[in-house]
Structure 1
């Protein structure tokens, strides 16, 4: 189902205008088939990617195929190892897990990635059913609260098992005694659990189409306030979610607007060895065609140069050399950007090298690389000890 933000009339108009517009990519550098991996079909990332992809096909010689993949680890493997998708819509938080080998990523093949363009700054919060007795996040401290746990995404698991309890002043072990965690195998199942009576609270984004369905269901939904001025609680939360930014939610379903939560930026990422001319052509098209596709979805407005520019000021993710070349051409790349980018590349390379060394040692010792294997994790921790982690530059 398409997101409530998708506007068919505007989409048709944009396609018509795009065919005669001035924004054209360097077609020779683009693949005949551009395959973009996104989260599942009822997410804003999927819907908004479908929106600009229609314009992209109209204005270039390339076809575009959107591949929804709810499992973050599988989408990562398809981008970096199987290479059957060209570009992935991924959150900065998820990319941190992928590069640093956190949780389920500890045993995956480490592959350096690069940012091609900013996708969206997605708001997130804790949602409950409309008739719930829970009003603020502090109300979760009552014993026996059922918390949905998105088993498909390591960062979502970290949020409910570590970050949220830490916000409340609870340790992970105390959280295990206080909460009843309800596993969910997909994002949609995770969110719907609160209106289906399976869980009391879930960590969700108000821009997702499934939240529109939930808001329109009998009884509706509400969001738990997270006070953006509560610096002590947020400091504890951000220890586990360092790529996030506390904010008052200002777009998405109406029930979330004005409620304290956070934003998590999504980017379009490629392996670091992706062709420079391809990244340049994509960056050029994303920028020059923005007026043509920005009306196709509410999140497409977040792909503007202005929003990307603000993201660059605080991002710690390396930018692809092709995108850097284009940004230099249009005067949107500074000496400060260059210094920060080189630092980010060097940091990512250190993590990749350390993890490759850990896998090599495990292989030599015939130790199975698995995040649940204590022998392997001892090797992993030995090689990565002391490495600086990725976090937003605030």
Structure 2
């Protein structure tokens, strides 16, 4: 009888423990679809590691749709065919209706962030290209990506740091992100701008050409003023994880968020809450997936500044965890007010200028956008 009693007590405890786990486990769907950069990119590798952790911990099956263009990553999300998108700065551009999204078919769109890993970027060159500083890129071949303002405009901003414009370099446009990133190893380009942990850069570092990082020195006030005039979402950063960078050394780069886990504004708060809870609770399973994945800890990835406002479901979880502060909420309110103002201005502008040809429409909207942003400062 004693054995039976002990067994019964153990069974009760086990059942109680399972019930508590079931109650606290995130309520994730059985399947999800995410979009990300091309296979081989840092964004794809990180999305894959997180998806694997979700599968192992909760049994959720995730299908990742890779795309080399920002539009290719966004369309499935906006059309309801993807649940989340692991984006780069196209999240900011679409939220603002800027650059490739300053067209009648796009315009400012209410996107929301769940979390975003801090990342570094600079002008990354083949070691034999003679590019030790940004200024040295004059006349060199710079790899851009078709339909990808996230890469291209950051490169334009970084060139501005060195007092250069696109007219001062030879822009070579490649059809996909992967093709652009591997172009230096193939000697089809001399430099590009990207996060320094992309797999193609490790291949470049091991190739006969080698790799070099043009520094963005934080004390160069004129350079930073020129950079931020083009793209006002970056700041100075010391990067210690980069392809070919000797251990213990740092490279002077610009900081931004990549990837930014993005969803739509109408995504139910409970679903986003469950997603970020799962992201947090599986951290130990994926944190060593790449050299920079430890930066997904929510005390770093769940804080402003970021490209777009945080989703209310994410804010609820971050608040419960003691991560979200009054200052963070004030930032989010300002960012939301800016997005709301741009969406309202866009609705009025598009109605009044529907007969314009696309080029004139885009130019006029960008001017209107700048006026709206200036009025909010």
Q: Judge same fold: TM > 0.5, yes or no.
A: yes
Alpha carbons 2:77, 2:83 under 8 Å: kept = yes
Alpha carbons 1:247, 1:263 under 8 Å: kept = yes
The equivalent of 1:4 in structure 2 is: none
The equivalent of 1:67 in structure 2 is: 65
The equivalent of 2:212 in structure 1 is: 222
The equivalent of 1:289 in structure 2 is: 282
Q: In the superposition, relative to structure 1, how do residues 261 and 24 fare at CA in structure 2: closer, same or farther (>3 Å)?
A: farther
Q: C-alpha displacement at 1:382, in angstroms?
A: 6.8
Alpha carbons 1:129, 1:200 under 8 Å: kept = yes
Q: C-alpha displacement at 1:236, in angstroms?
A: 0.9
CA distance in 1, matches of 2:189, 2:57: 45
Q: C-alpha displacement at 1:188, in angstroms?
A: 2.0
Residue correspondences, number: 354
Q: In the superposition, relative to structure 1, how do residues 334 and 132 fare at CA in structure 2: closer, same or farther (>3 Å)?
A: closer
Q: 2:228 aligns with which of 221, 233, 238?
A: 238
Q: C-alpha displacement at 1:272, in angstroms?
A: 0.5
The equivalent of 2:46 in structure 1 is: 48
Q: Are 2:349 and 1:351 equivalent residues in the alignment?
A: no
The equivalent of 2:362 in structure 1 is: 377
Q: In the superposition, relative to structure 1, how do residues 283 and 131 fare at CA in structure 2: closer, same or farther (>3 Å)?
A: same
Deviates more, 1:347-356 or 1:317-326: 347-356
Alpha carbons 1:44, 1:299 under 8 Å: kept = no
Q: 1:106 aligns with which of 97, 102, 105?
A: 102
Q: C-alpha displacement at 1:125, in angstroms?
A: 2.0
Secondary structure of 1:226's match? coil
Q: In the superposition, relative to structure 1, how do residues 382 and 329 fare at CA in structure 2: closer, same or farther (>3 Å)?
A: same
RMSD: 2.8
The equivalent of 2:320 in structure 1 is: 329
Q: C-alpha displacement at 1:24, in angstroms?
A: 8.5
Q: For structure 2, which runs of at least 5 residues remain unmatched after alignment?
A: 1-17
Q: C-alpha displacement at 1:196, in angstroms?
A: 1.9
The equivalent of 1:156 in structure 2 is: 151
Alpha carbons 2:134, 2:215 under 8 Å: kept = yes
Alpha carbons 1:137, 1:224 under 8 Å: kept = yes
The equivalent of 1:258 in structure 2 is: 250
The equivalent of 1:135 in structure 2 is: 132
The CA deviation string for residues 209-262 of structure 1, in whole angstroms up to 9 with x for no partner, is 111112122332222233232121112112112111222321021338522222
Deviates more, 1:269-278 or 1:348-357: 348-357
Secondary structure of 1:65's match? strand
TM-score (norm 2): 0.85
TM-score (norm 1): 0.81
Alpha carbons 2:36, 2:43 under 8 Å: kept = yes
CA distance in 2, matches of 1:187, 1:385: 29
